[in-house]
Amino acid sequence: MIDLGGALARLQEVESRYQRLEDDMGREDVYLDPDRLREVSKERADLEDRVNAYRQFRDIIKQIEENEELSRADADLREMAEDELTRLRPRREELEKLLIKLLVPEDPLDRKDIFLEIRAGTGGEEAALFAADLFRMYCRFAEKRKWTVEIVSVSETELKGLKEVVAQIRGHRVFSHLKFEGGVHRVQRVPETEAQGRIHTSAVTVAVLPEVDDVEIRVDEADLRIDLFRAGGAGGQHINKTDSAVRLTHIPTGIVVVCQDERSQLKNKSKAMKVLKARMAEQAREEANRKEQDARRSMVGSGDRSERIRTYNFPQNRLTDHRIGITLYKLEMIMEGDMEELLSALQAYFAAQALAVESSTC
């Protein structure tokens, strides 16, 4: 059981505030003032998830205490009480994790769409094939959540692996779900190209970049080198027919972005500019993280792409996330986009770390 410490007292204060807002909404002076009513309604809605979870948690705790007392006091009802406890205790743990996530102040980037970048690392063709498998995994997860995935640029191998793919993913709270995916993903499996049946280890890097609004990052055209060329690669009726592909090089930072997915040169340039701004913003955040020695950053972590974060062991159907020490023996399902358990565990872990830092600095 996670020790919420003073968190429950904070939740009680949140519930009290929520109740006052509900009372305010029933007052005539608030009801007749559209601006005031809108303000009260918005604050109430912002608190609603926390209050509902807190009330469920409080109710579960009460039921657990009652059944534990019943189990000790009445031998005839002990078996029924133990069965009920078997159901209630996992639910209590789920609510504890949810409450911790809800108590942590929202990351202002959580509601952003993202650019997902996947690149084959060590391992040659097998790394490229695994990069393609990872991209498919994220696409399947996005499909389950009704997000849209749009490829910005892609570089394939002859065996349909991916040297590199950049895609834009749009939907409800995309960054909040995928922000901990950045890093080195290691795979252990027997490659299709391996005749002897030996297990190989390869690596793929993943970057998750929140999309940046135009007002957040400004790019001086004088700092850009723009190259136009004909798109290449497998597929696409427009390949090698027009100079529609665009390469942007930001001279001060050395960041290079290529976009060739659209038929229109203008559309490719617009997409490339969005990716460039996202990378520039990420570079600025990483630089700030290097300079900042604040305890919050050091404990919560930055999701540095240089860190090996995860191992996918196909012979054992096992996935291990090294940051939080979780191992799941359902790799086949995860590769089909069933990522909820894994991502929820990551969110709960990093939320608990952030809450611990916040509590220590209060």
pLDDT digits 0-9 by tens, 191-217 = 876 667 788 999 999 999 999 876 667
Residues 205 and 351 in one domain: yes
User: Checking DSSP bridges between strand 224-229 and strand 245-250, what pairing results, if any?
Assistant: antiparallel
What distance separates the 2 farthest-apart alpha carbons in the chain? Answer: 83
Same domain, 323 and 201: yes
pTM for this model (two decimals): 0.68
Whose tokens are 């209060």? That residue is 362
Looking at residue 105, the DSSP 8-state letter turns out to be P
Q: What is the predicted pLDDT for the residue at 295?
A: 35
295 inside domain: yes
Q: Answer yes or no: is 209 within a domain.
A: yes
CB 172 within 8 A of CB 114: no
DSSP label of 223: G
CB 153 within 8 A of CB 96: no
Long-range residue pairs from 251-257, CB within 8 A, at least 24 positions apart, any chain:
251/223, 251/224, 251/225, 252/223, 253/280, 253/283, 255/279, 255/280, 255/283
Is the domain of 88 the same as that of 228?
A: no
If asked whether residues 249 and 339 sit together in one domain, one would say yes
Determine the pLDDT at residue 201.
Answer: 92
155: nearest Cα among 183, 113, 127: 127
Convert the pLDDT of each residue in 38-51 to its tens digit. 899 988 988 888 89
Crossing angle of the two packed helices 7-25 and 34-73, in degrees rounded to 10: 130
Contacts of 129 (CB under 8 A, 6+ apart): 157, 159, 160, 161, 191, 192
- In the structure encoding, which two tokens stand for residue 199, read together? 């297990």
Q: Residues 236-257: what's their mean pLDDT? A: 75
2 in any annotated domain: no
pLDDT at 193: 66
Closest CA to 310 of 342, 287, 338, 340: 342
Q: How far, in Å, CA of 231 to CA of 152, rounded?
A: 12
Tally of structural domains, the chain: 2
User: Domain range for residue 337?
Assistant: 114-361
Tell me the β-bridge partners of 120: 204
288 vs 152: which has the higher pLDDT? 152
Domain boundary among 43, 68, 103: 103
Region 62-86: what's the mean pLDDT? 88
What average pLDDT does range 243-267 have in this prediction?
86
Name the pLDDT band for 357 (thresholds 50, 70, 90): low
Q: How confident is the model at residue 238 (pLDDT cuts 50, 70, 90)?
A: very low
Residue 228 has pLDDT above 90, yes or no: no
Reading the block at residue 309, the tokens are 């974060």
Query: How far is the C-alpha of 233 from the C-alpha of 28, rounded, in Å?
Result: 66
329: amino acid identity, one letter: Y
Q: How confident is the model at residue 359 (pLDDT cuts 50, 70, 90)?
A: low
Q: Which two tokens stand for residue 41?
A: 């309604």
For residue 1, pLDDT over 80 is answered with no
Look at residue 240 in the predicted model and tell me its pLDDT: 46
The answer to the question of residue 109 being in a domain is no
- Across residues 146-159, what is the average pLDDT? 92
The amino acid at 154? V
Are both 63 and 137 inside the same structural domain? no
Q: Which of 103, 134, 168 is the last residue of a domain?
A: 103
- For range 317-336, the mean pLDDT: 96
* Whole-number average pLDDT of the chain: 84
pLDDT at residue 306 above 70? Answer: no
Same domain, 23 and 141: no
Q: pLDDT-based confidence at 307, cuts 50/70/90?
A: low
Residue 108 falls within a domain, yes or no?
A: no
| Strand 183-189 to 308-313 pairing | parallel
